[in-house]
Structure 1
Amino acid sequence: MALLLSLLTALVVFSAGPGGALGCDLPQDHVLLSRENLELLNQMSTISPFFCLKDRRDFRFPRATVDGTQVQKAQAIAVLHEMLQQVFNLLPTENSSVTWNMTLVNELRSGLHQQLEDLDTCLVEEMGEEGSALDMQGPTRALKRYFQGIRLYLKEKEYSDCAWEVVRVEIMGSFSSTTALQERLRNKDGDVGSP
């Protein structure tokens, strides 16, 4: 349970922080929305992750993509945006056999959608300043492959309850991995790679 709370806290850090932490104007309620999304993700668990240990898989999260040591601010925002978009797309819909409470899932989808809109604005601002869409393809391509692996895993496991639980925990872990990238975005000089 302590690990779960740590991961949830990391997701808040990932998408929260003081207004303008990304170098653009995020709405005041962005932090509150992040916390609400974390709580929803936490509440979605219907079985213990320990029950599903046999179903664990190393999805090979592309840590270098979110490391942020050599990426520009626009690339970092693109990575964060891609993460949220992939999670949004991965979440089950009403027609799924997942045992999660669909009201919670729909609320999470709504919160992620709002965060995506906030990041869209930031990405447009940064893209104009720092580069083209071609600069974003490498880092986001790695994330797309990562999430494709998760989709294949779910299909292979026939979308079982344990498979969804493994994926839920994996999503929380991948969000926690973006914390360092988020911290680098807070640099005042705009160079994400600066120490």
Structure 2
Amino acid sequence: MTQCSWLLLLVGLSMTHILSQHCDSLNFYLHKITLQTLMQLREMRTRIPVECFTEIKAFELPKEILLDTQLVERDIQTIFYEISMQVINVFDQNTFNSAWDKKLLSQFQMELYEKAEYLKECLEEENSTSEDTREKREGGMSSLQLRNLELRRYFNRILKFLKDKKYSRCTWEIVLVEIIRCFLYLEQFQRQYYK
């Protein structure tokens, strides 16, 4: 092996070690970034105009995804990742009608994406080091896959609402409140789970 190859191998092993050290405190990190995300979302929020109140819609947040007594920490981490990716997808839509500060929106999107990628790396590392990553099956799908499916349906309802209302300012304000509600629920759950 050449000297350059050894150096690359050493750097790769060091990065894996550094990442695994940070991933060891992933639950603390998740709680911290949930709170940061909530603060950023609240900072973006503007006052909802009175005319928007007629458009308020119940998106039916699937709270049961976190009520399962069989949940393990990995499930919570995976659910957080799925929520983050779905929120990124929502905010990738036509936000030009929103009254939000574009700089704040861009910063929020970039930071949430970075957090989600970090979490993805930790989850992949855990998968590669775990001896048994098989999940219990329920009718052909794992319970985690079913939870993720419920989350996707929830976010599809949000996307459909945005599209049906032509991405209006009112629609965006309602969606922002709903996403804040989603992260609030996740934060409350984390607080109770990690007591």
Matched AA of 1:72: V
Structure 2: gaps of 5 or more residues: 1-19, 136-140
Alignment RMSD = 3.2
Q: CA deviation at 1:49?
A: 6.0
Q: Identity across aligned pairs (percent)? A: 27
Q: Which has the higher helix share?
A: 2
Determine the structure 2 residue equivalent to 1:81. Answer: 81
Q: CA deviation at 1:79?
A: 0.7
Please list, as runs of the form range in 1=range in 2, the aligned pairs for 1:132-143 lying within 5 A after superposition. 132=134, 135=142, 136-143=144-151
Q: CA deviation at 1:95?
A: 7.0
For residues 114-168 of structure 1, the C-alpha deviation after alignment (integer angstroms, 9 at most, x for no partner) is: 2212321332244435524763311111000000000000111111111100000
Please list, as runs of the form range in 1=range in 2, the aligned pairs for 1:4-83 lying within 5 A after superposition. 24-26=24-26, 35-48=35-48, 51-83=51-83
Please list, as runs of the form range in 1=range in 2, the aligned pairs for 1:153-164 lying within 5 A after superposition. 153-164=161-172
Q: CA deviation at 1:173?
A: 0.6
Aligned residue pair count = 167
Residues 98 and 164, structure 1, Cα contact 8 Å, conserved in 2? yes
TM-score of the pair, normalised by structure 1:
0.70
C-alpha spacing 1:97/1:161, structure 2 compared with 1 (3 Å): closer
CA distance in 2, matches of 1:50, 1:125: 48
CA distance in 2, matches of 1:75, 1:36: 21
C-alpha spacing 1:75/1:103, structure 2 compared with 1 (3 Å): same
For residues 95-114 of structure 1, the C-alpha deviation after alignment (integer angstroms, 9 at most, x for no partner) is: 73333222111100111112
CA distance in 1, matches of 2:170, 2:95: 18
CA distance in 1, matches of 2:181, 2:167: 20
C-alpha spacing 1:129/1:111, structure 2 compared with 1 (3 Å): farther
Q: CA deviation at 1:41?
A: 1.4
Residues 98 and 173, structure 2, Cα contact 8 Å, conserved in 1? no
